[in-house]
Every structure is written in structure tokens, then in C-alpha cells.
Chains A and B, each alone.
Chain A
Amino acid sequence: MSDKTIRVELVAADKAVWSGDAKMVIAKTVEGEIGLLPGHEPMLAILGAGEVRITLVGGEIIKANAEEGFLSVEHDVVSIVARHAQLV
């Protein structure tokens, strides 16, 4: 696996919940679960209620709940923007 990372920003309506570099992000859109790796094409998707899993470079996994929002990917930056979001 390459050593490229993606920058993740998890943002709720009233505060920024988490941000940092990650190896992989798995999120749930209205269409189903989606896995995002570095170099993913630019994308805007509507978020479905569910869990967001962020795999850090070291292999640890950060889990968060996010619902009612959207996620955008561009230039290896993933923004997960939700009305309600918190780490679990």
C-alpha cells in the first residue's frame, strides 16, 4: 500500500469534530457504504445516517456517528459535513 494519506475533516453544525490525516475513510451515503482511499476522484454525496470509520496511518480506527449532511472529496481532502456528528 502506498504511503499517501488523505486529509479528513469531520464537521458538525456547531463545531469541528475531528480532523487529521488518514489512510482510509468509510462512510455511508444514501446509496450505500463507500470507501475512500487517497487519490479518489472528486465527489459530492449525500450522507445517510450511520457510522463513519476513519482508519489512521497507524492502523487505529476512529469511529463517529454522522447524520443529515453530505460528504465531499477533492484533492485528497475528505470533508464530512453533518448537522449532528460526534465521535464514538
Chain B
Amino acid sequence: MGAQLRVYRQKIKSAQTTKKITRAMELISASRIYKAQQRVAASAPYSRAVTRAVSAVATYSNVDHPLTTEPARIDRAAIVVFTSDRGLAGAFSSNVMKEADQLTTLLLSQGKEVVYFLVGRKAVSNFGFRRRVAVQQWIGGTDLPQFDTAKEISDTLLKAFATDASEGGVDEIHVVYNRFVSMIAQVPEVVRLLPLEVVEGIEAPVGDEVFPLYEFEPDVNKVLDALLPVYIESRIFNSMLQSAASEHAARQKAMKSATDNAEKLIHNYTRLSNSARQAEITQQISEIVGGADALSTAGNED
């Protein structure tokens, strides 16, 4: 076997191995998208109920809650970035990081200081690489978010929000995550989480529905006190679930095109190796013919 032919065969083999891996990852992601979507759907009743209750309280009371009031001046803003733990998902994590960077530029131009909370190993390593520091980070489990993590994140955020900016707290909190639109589209989305604008819920109450006059137990302020953190939690949990579904969809898409590319490579190298083999055979024939020719000429001269 000629050297050229051997090189092509090696390349075909390596592309085939890669293809096997990417194909497997594609199939795994495809099955996980479905589960992730189901989880998004399963958490919908909760977030709907919470949003509804919050809107109901907000409609019937003119309470000024610290979480809904705009601070007099905003000195420091926090950005929460939701990325994935693992790569090989196309531009999934880098899209969110890019969006976060744009938001940072905007906030800095408004004269605000920016601090970060990171979710997902990719965001952490991105920050490590750029030598930037985050206030807090959560890694692990981005592909299967648990509600307890969401609670932990929202508790941390609420604590930071409750602290005064001069003592290291923040006045404003934004979240950046990938929203799952469809199997082929995931859109990075920036949402201001705090101070709350209750009117825009995840799912606003239908139409001009009028809420009944509720009785609150123990009283309206206590109910609001209890409800708003729950609302924040459910928003965070929703972002995490959306992000997880998007991650699987992005990975499936990326792995699909990787598999296609591997196939294309295999195809091209097979063509090249065929022509190399043909060239080798042609050369051998012409060598034999040339040799025989030379022999017979030499024989005639004798």
C-alpha cells in the first residue's frame, strides 16, 4: 500500500470514529430535549398560579414593597448569567456571554457598577480566562435543574438586593438566559428581575380579567412578603428550565452538523483514496510493462 493511500485511509478512519461519537451525542440530546420540554411544561402550572396571585395582590393593594420600588439611584447592578456545564453545544454559552457583555457595556455607560452571578461551568471558565471575578457561582446540574438550586440562587439574589449598595449589595438585578423557542431556535434573552415589574408576568392573566376582591390572610403586606420571593424563585427556575431545554436543542443541532461534516469528510477522502489506489495500480502496470519492454529489448540486442 502506498504512503498516500495509507494517509487517506487513516483520515477516513478518524472521521468515522468522530462521526460515531457525534451521532451518539446527537441522539442522546434529542431524547433529552423531550424530557426538558416536559419539565418546562410541568412547572408551568406553578408559575402561572404564582404570577396570577402576585398580579392579584398588586391590583388590589397600593402597597409599596421594597422589591417593587425603584431605588432612588442605582449604583450597582448585578447580572445573572445562565450557561451550560458542558460544551459541544454550538454557540449556546457564547451567545449568552455575548449578550451579557453587551448588557455590561450598557450598564457601565449609565454609570453603574456591574457585578456577576454565574450559573454553569462554561460561564465560570469564561470568567477565569478573562480574569474577571464573579460574586458567586453555581456549577453542576445545568442540564437537569433542580428547584432547590433555583431557591438557593434566588435567596442569594434577594439578600444582595436587600443589602445597601454601599455595603456591597446591588440595586438592580438582570438575568441573561437562553429562551427555548423551538428545536431550531434558542434566543438569548435579557430580563430585569429586580426591582419587579409585576405587570409583565411569564404568562399574563388572560385578557381584561377582573380579579375578585380577595380577603388576605393574615394581611395584605404579609401575603405580599411571602409571595414576591416565591415569584422570583419561580422566574429563576423557569429561566433554568428554559436554558436546559435550549442547551439540549443547541447540542443536538451542533452534533447533527458535526455528523454531517464527518460524513462529508469521509466521502471526500474515500474519493481521494480511490484515485490514489487507481494511480498506484496504473503506476505498477506501467512499471511492469516498462520492465518487460526493457527486458525484451535487452534480449533482442544479444
Residues of A whose CB lies within 8 Å of any CB of B are 9, 11-16, 29-31, 34, 41-46, 69-70, 72, 74-75, 79, 81, 83
Contact = CB atoms under 8 A, between A and B. Distances in A.
Interface string B195-223: 00000000000000001111111100011
A29 B217 CA distance: 8
Given A72-B49, A81-B50, A81-B53, A15 B217 contact: no
A13 B46 contact: yes
B53 A45 contact: no
Contact of A70 (B39, B147, B226): B226
A70 B56 CA distance: 13
B45 interface: yes
Contacts of A11: 45-46, 49
22 contacts: A11-B46, A13-B43, A13-B150, A13-B233, A14-B39, A14-B237, A31-B217, A34-B217, A43-B215, A44-B56, A44-B57, A44-B214, A44-B217, A45-B218, A46-B217, A46-B222, A70-B53, A70-B226, A70-B227, A70-B230, A72-B53, A83-B230
Majority SS at the chain A contact face: strand
Interface in B234-254: 234, 237
B212 A44 contact: no
| Chain B interface category by residue count | 20 to 34
A67 to B, nearest CB: 12
A69 B56 contact: no
B214 to A, nearest CB: 5
A46 to B, nearest CB: 5
Closest 4 CB pairs of A and B: A45-B217, A42-B212, A15-B42, A81-B49
Majority SS at the chain B contact face: helix
B40 to A, nearest CB: 10
B174 interface: no
B256 interface: no
A42 B222 contact: no
A75 B213 CA distance: 11
B151 interface: yes
A46 B49 contact: no
Contacts of A45: 216-218, 223
A73 B113 CA distance: 44
Contacts of A12: 46
B45 A9 contact: yes
Nearest to B226: A46
Contacts of B57: 44
A72 B230 CA distance: 14
A52 to B, nearest CB: 15
Nearest to B43: A14
A75 B45 contact: no
B46 A81 contact: yes
Interface string B136-176: 00000000000100110000000000000000000000000
